[in-house]
Structure 1
Amino acid sequence: MKKWEKYLFLSILTALVVIPLIVYLANRNHTFAELVTERIIASEPVVSLSLTKSSSEKQIKIKDPSQIHQLMDNLSTTQLVKVKFPHLQGAYSYYIRIKVGNTQHSRARYGLILYSNNYISIYDFERNDKYNGLTYQITSPYSIQLINDLYEASAHNT
């Protein structure tokens, strides 16, 4: 085998190993913003959030734009890693339904399940493929206390 043939063979072999590895690692890490926030188009802003706490099963609605913005900002910088076999242990902390549209015509766009052990499942109600309903491990801090406070404040007002 000639010297240039060895280099060509090693280059092809390296490309066959490195490129799939890079694609795999790039598809594994996400942010909440890229999976949810950026897919909500500007002409159809979030008009309400429904929060259900697993320990009480009482559903509350948040329609105040500042509270919606506060909750969405809290989650938007969250770093997520896709997991195939999460350790969910059967309980969740909150179910959040995100409605978009306008005040006359709104529709449920996303369903989020925040698990107490730092996992989140994201359901896009307008998507029907293998990438819908995936569970991610939350790898960056977010304020579950903010969500608790919003829930408690709204629960006491209703």
Structure 2
Amino acid sequence: MTATTVSAAVVPVTVYTADMEASSGGTVEVPVYFSGADEVGSMDLVLNYDSGVLQATGASTSDIGNNAFVESNIAIPGKITLAMADSSGISGDGEVLLISFTVLGDVGSSTTVSIESVELHNVELVEVMTETENGIVTVADAASGSESAGYGGMMLISLGVFCLCAFLMKRKN
């Protein structure tokens, strides 16, 4: 009888930012995502960006990272250094952090939000393999159909419908 050794495949966690649009003069929250996370207990992350297009203002946890603690250093223009910890571990796919920026660039400008370095550890403090993907933030005209403009328009329509219904109900009585 021959013994067979089966070794588990090591699947890296993908850490990435996505492409998005932002309005000149406004603010934007750039999400940092995990894909394939399994009990990630800590992350050290350094992001680079064009300080002529964006100015970092802070970071907060989001979605699958909402129980984590995060600290950020935004002292160096064009670079944000982050440390995150979650003693219960983060598992799954989704937004982990939101990086807040003021948009300084003119319409048509853009910057890559690049991951300079990332280091993950699981809840047992074992280093986790990672892959990274960078996103691009493009400065667009606020009227070009950005998500926030669409949300505001939808809120105005909803308010108008509500007022119309209230008026008709009052008139009926």
Q: Please, what TM-score do these two structures have when normalized by structure 2?
A: 0.24
More strand as a share of residues: 2
Higher helix fraction (1 or 2): 1
- Give the number of the structure with larger relative contact order, counting CA–CA contacts within 8 Å between residues 6 or more apart: 2
- What TM-score do the two structures reach when normalised by structure 1? 0.26
Q: Which has the larger radius of gyration?
A: 2
